[in-house]
Amino acid sequence: MIKPIIKLFDRQVLFWESPKTIQRISSFLVIAFIVCGVCSSLVYYEILSVGQFNNLFEHPFFAIEVAFTILLILELLSLIFVLPKSVARSLGKQFELLSLIFLRDAFKEFSHLDNFLLWGDTKTTIQSMLIHSFGALAIFAIMGSTQRLNSKIRLSETYVNQTQFVRIKKLLALFLLISFFLIGFRDVIVFLHTGRYLHSFETFYTVLIFTDIIIVLVALRYTINYYRVFRYTAFVLATILIRISLTIEPYYNVALGILASLFVLILAMAYNYTQRWLTKRELTT
């Protein structure tokens, strides 16, 4: 029963990561940006009315927010497909998404900026843009260093049943994929009824937390090494911190996101040092 499900997931990965699909996604982003930009201009100058959605399109730079939101949704898909390959790469992808969310928030503030002349009217917006953009830049720099450290880590222990472990992660990734579409469907229904898009990234991260916990518990079947168990468990804690940063008030969310990325960087440094020390001890004994 498991093999057909695994094949279904593998087909989805091949479809979404194929060059043709990537080209179509790029074309879709360009078309969506142009269409939303034209609609925003027409609504802004009161040439066109879109009913209850007028409040969204009345800002001339709303198309930027739309394009980045679609890009984030597509990045969520790539996060799901990375999960079976490596837990560390999956966590890195989560922080990449967090930095893109902060960048989107900066562009979102810019899209609502109508007057560039009066500092008193734009001060709060510009401050928010700067904080979110520099927060995204800090996470980008920190995760670059973290990925470089993770690439040096060589696990000396090979799992007894690596193939089965990957299959279990693929099953969990397929569950995440189904959850992704269900959450997206709910957001679309709410948007059509209320004219307000929820951006339910925090809901998806909640599901991701439970998925990561299951991966940690399943990994115990293949290794009881303290350092690896601690590393996996710390990954789950980092995901929880990302989830919290998506819901708390502005500025604190950026600070927590940066602290979470620093936590993962220090973890990578400590784990890398420990692995080198253990390797040297094994060679000398």
Mean pLDDT, rounded, of the chain? 83
pTM for the whole thing? 0.82
pLDDT in tens, 219-236: 888 777 888 889 889 999
pLDDT in tens, 151-191: 766 544 444 457 778 888 888 888 888 998 898 888 888 87
Rounded mean pLDDT, 265-277: 88
Number of domains in the chain: 1
Contacts of 189 (CB under 8 A, 6+ apart): none
Domain coverage including residue 134: 2-284
Cβ(45)–Cβ(58) under 8 Å?
A: no
Cβ(81)–Cβ(102) under 8 Å?
A: no
Alpha carbons 104 and 98: distance in angstroms, whole number: 10
pLDDT in tens, 119-160: 566 778 888 889 999 999 999 999 999 988 877 665 444 444
pLDDT in tens, 55-100: 777 776 777 878 888 888 888 888 888 888 888 888 899 999 999 9
